[in-house]
Structure 1
């Protein structure tokens, strides 16, 4: 490049062209008269940028190097404090929920304003609970208490006192497998698919009460209600022939069924019961070999105990993300007839697998942490 050649910053050239007298005269003739404004101090950015550009060239940089440095500063600025990101998230999440309610829900009810008002008055939740919302708003796990001295092996005992259990497990969130503690329950001799079918069919309103007031979980099968379960063909229910695999779970809300169920088992002796625990629901899980419950975390009030009545099942636990540096990466425990597992399912991701052979049936409920 010749020494007498001067590089001109493009915006400076444009500014000079805009400053031409004829252009100013033409623009002023077309511009409507405005009230005079108070003069403000201005900075000639074009001149400053041109000076920076010239200084960079004199320092030995090439035009392409100057351009690269400029882009790096504009498009890849230095990292700032993350507070802004949290503030943006705090604003975006509620806004997204409101948009979901007023667009998606409104569309479902034909965007009728009166119907929308009725919906907002009648519904308990504007946004339905999902795995995403549960993960977003759950409290953080107490990792140190859950995993202190836990090791890589699922804790297992043959028996345990209430004092030991409440101090070292119930109040900390550590999981525990107690082997054989339910081996004398009547349920081990009575529970079967036919038992539950007869139990609900003998109480005509029990199915309706459960379907209106309780929960039913279908894990990858086409049995989606208690009615579906009780109407299942015998060969599929008893795992005979070329049956279609199935696995389900449900809670019971019928008082008569509740009284019958509680003649078949007793609450584990090491679990402390309060007055509120009398209202705890019974949970049953039943199904054929293969994957049981997919990996998930619950959002319930209390930890859970579950007894294996028929068959065998393996639980796999994973810690919460905030606990990965403190807790083992994975814990596994296989339950057999008469075993009871105790897990705070709010604080451990968990999944189950049903072992080949006979049907798997479990019953369980919740217990107090203190």
Structure 2
């Protein structure tokens, strides 16, 4: 559904508005990239955006018997913001050079744009979050015991599920540096085929991350803190990584899982508040360190559902429907956090 909407959106823009104007289309693309940068680097708060949305709703309906639907107000607000920035770039495009560095790793315009996705995503059925006030904590369990929970949207933590993975003694920044430098085309695969996420760091590529000084890698005093993530697509990289971890043993036998994975590592503030636009449920193995997760329901469910925090420790696996729960992470107590993430469904 989301992919179809994205294709219709992009097709409509090309045919109806900018049919033969390649220069104009380029400017619009640059505007979309700028929106990505604003969202990811400035860590736009969902609460702040919702407050603005509510203010727009109140002002628009003052003195009127009709009341705007909060979901419509949210999407109208996002659309107005999108059009405003686009118009600004029509008038002045001096910021395009700034976009180039931070657009690295973003191959496709529409699939990586959170504002477009927010406008076009389906409205959530709030049953997924009603009455949910905390993550469900499960002891390490068998596949048969997990069947009841397997496809739930409730945040879940399976304790001590990765303690037997060799990865906890092998994976590190230096492990990935040696791995990527030893395989031809490994760095290029992240930039050209997969995805690199710098979050709030000033690191623009995986090569830059793995080339940092040892002092910064260890987050020593006086060094800039950092947290990044990337998707692995290179078959040889994945083959080596798979020697040290496996898909959680309790997941359903018939569940589909991609061979690709994500690595997230670093210190202090982790991922900023966001929603994932993926096709399956997410699992993440916390190999090193501990993180606090903050989850927030989609805006249309804000009046009937609650936001809450929970902790995930080394050895745990978190399962979360990141398609309907906005989520952010924070690494605890200046620890180094390293996780492996993939999907199932």
Unaligned runs of 5+ in 2: 1-60, 94-106
Once the two structures are TM-superposed, the CA of residue 291 in structure 1 deviates from its matched residue by 1.2
Q: Tell me the residue number matched to 2:162.
A: 182
Q: Tell me the residue number matched to 2:129.
A: 147
Q: Tell me the residue number matched to 1:310.
A: 288
TM-score normalised to structure 1 length: 0.64
| 8 Å CA contact retained: 2:150, 2:252 | no
Q: Secondary structure at the match of 1:307?
A: strand
Once the two structures are TM-superposed, the CA of residue 137 in structure 1 deviates from its matched residue by 1.4
Runs of 4+ deviating beyond 4 Å:
80-83, 86-108, 124-129, 273-276
Evaluate the alpha carbon distance shift between residue 178 and residue 126 of structure 1 in structure 2; reply closer, same or farther with a 3 A threshold.
closer
Q: Tell me the residue number matched to 1:283.
A: 262
Once the two structures are TM-superposed, the CA of residue 147 in structure 1 deviates from its matched residue by 3.0
Structure index of larger Rg:
1
Q: Tell me the residue number matched to 1:294.
A: 272
TM-score normalised to structure 2 length: 0.68
1:135 to 113, 118, 122: 118
| 8 Å CA contact retained: 1:293, 1:352 | yes
Evaluate the alpha carbon distance shift between residue 101 and residue 204 of structure 1 in structure 2; reply closer, same or farther with a 3 A threshold.
same
Mapped partners of 1:157, 1:92: distance in 2: 40
Q: Tell me the residue number matched to 2:323.
A: 346
Mapped partners of 2:238, 2:195: distance in 1: 15
| 8 Å CA contact retained: 1:101, 1:126 | no
| 8 Å CA contact retained: 1:307, 1:340 | yes
Once the two structures are TM-superposed, the CA of residue 102 in structure 1 deviates from its matched residue by 10
Q: Tell me the residue number matched to 2:32.
A: none
Q: Tell me the residue number matched to 2:340.
A: 363
Evaluate the alpha carbon distance shift between residue 142 and residue 207 of structure 1 in structure 2; reply closer, same or farther with a 3 A threshold.
same
Cα RMSD, aligned residues only? 3.6
Q: Tell me the residue number matched to 1:265.
A: 245
Q: Tell me the residue number matched to 2:229.
A: 249
Mapped partners of 2:295, 2:79: distance in 1: 32
Evaluate the alpha carbon distance shift between residue 130 and residue 91 of structure 1 in structure 2; reply closer, same or farther with a 3 A threshold.
closer
Evaluate the alpha carbon distance shift between residue 226 and residue 167 of structure 1 in structure 2; reply closer, same or farther with a 3 A threshold.
same
Once the two structures are TM-superposed, the CA of residue 103 in structure 1 deviates from its matched residue by 9.7
1:167 to 145, 148, 163: 148
Once the two structures are TM-superposed, the CA of residue 149 in structure 1 deviates from its matched residue by 5.0
